[in-house]
A and B are shown apart, each in its own frame.
Chain A
Amino acid sequence: MSAMILGWSITAAQVLLGFAMACAALRFIRGPRAQDRIIGLDTFYVNAMLMLITIGIRSGGTLYFEAALIIGLLGFVGTVALAKFLMRGEVIE
């Protein structure tokens, strides 16, 4: 019973997060300027991280947690590098 409740709510959360990722991807594709695309990419990273955590709750192991941590780290580094590039035209000065 409780496993069924948890299973269905994890599925619902994954569908909602999928729609959220679709919105972020639309902004990434359509965004009129470069900074719109970067904020779309950043949101996409965070949503993908949350999606991995819900998959990890379903599997019951800690493997997906580590993947989520790595996605969080790489998303931060990537967005900062892209923002620096927008500001100065080069990443490392």
Chain B
Amino acid sequence: MSAAPDLPLWAALLVSALIVGGALVTLIGSIGLWRLPDFYARLHAPSLGATLGTGAILIGSMICFSVLRSRPLVHEVLIAIFITITTPVTLMLLARASLYRDRVEGRTDVPAEDPEPTEP
């Protein structure tokens, strides 16, 4: 195959396992997005790729570059923090927007109003 960085064997095996595992989890999440029956079920699937898949691939990348430059190199943490913060915000907004649209259209398969907040 084309050029790849020359790591020690243990690091190469570790990075390979992390990258292929992360890609596999991401693929499962995206297949879920394609196969699940309705919107509110589909909303759950891609977060598999946004959490575990991203985490595994980023940790693999961190190990690869740290071994390659022989010093700790963790700038991928930036992406990890950012994805962790933004994914819930995006999916919450999208779910609320979809719920609002379903209520306006008068669909009966969504709850008509939010539940009352319970006292702690």
Contact = CB atoms under 8 A, between A and B. Distances in A.
Interface of A: 1-14, 16-17, 19-21, 23-24, 26-27, 33, 35-36, 38-40, 42-43, 46-47, 49-50, 53-54, 56-58, 60, 62, 65, 68-69, 72-73, 76, 79-80, 83-84, 86-87
B6 A2 contact: yes
* Closest A-B pairs by Cβ, 7 of them: A9-B16, A7-B1, A2-B12, A7-B4, A20-B30, A13-B23, A16-B23
B6 A3 contact: yes
Please classify the interface of chain B as helix (H, G, I), strand (E, B), loop, or mixed, using the class held by over half of its residues.
helix
Contacts, number: 189
Interface of B: 1-9, 11-13, 15-17, 19-20, 22-24, 26-27, 29-31, 33-34, 39, 42-43, 46, 49-50, 53-54, 57-58, 60-61, 64-65, 68, 75-76, 78-79, 82-83, 86, 89-91, 93-94, 96-98, 100-101
